[in-house]
Structure 1
Amino acid sequence: MGLAPKMVEHIFAVIAGLRERGVALLLIEQNARLALEVTDSAWVMDSGSIVHRGESHAPAQ
């Protein structure tokens, strides 16, 4: 079911604010598109292995 859309919006706004203040976080999120909007770098995992890593603004493959 997940969180209500308004709650997700609020949580990601808080995360974006923390990023702007220079706070480092480890974010584990299934919504990759949303996560990439609030992060500087990303690691994509499949079955426990890293299959891609790079800057968040890099084009997705």
Structure 2
Amino acid sequence: MDIVDVAKVARNFGKNKQTDPNWDETKKADINGDEKINIVDIATVARYFGRGCYFL
């Protein structure tokens, strides 16, 4: 995870599958797969920041 991943999650923060017409692209920032971009996704990026990760 790096700054690009942080930016991807931050840019999409608050979006979800039900309300985002571009979800096919947005879902790349949904780290935990719960169909919404929220604090859990940010916390996961923070936890793995600087390490290899296969979420995004």
Is the pair's TM-score, using the shorter chain for normalization, greater than 0.5? no
Q: Which has the higher helix share?
A: 2
Mark the structure with the bigger radius of gyration. 1
Larger RCO (CA within 8 A; separation ≥ 6): 2
Q: Which has the higher strand share?
A: 1
TM-score (norm 1): 0.30
TM-score (norm 2): 0.31
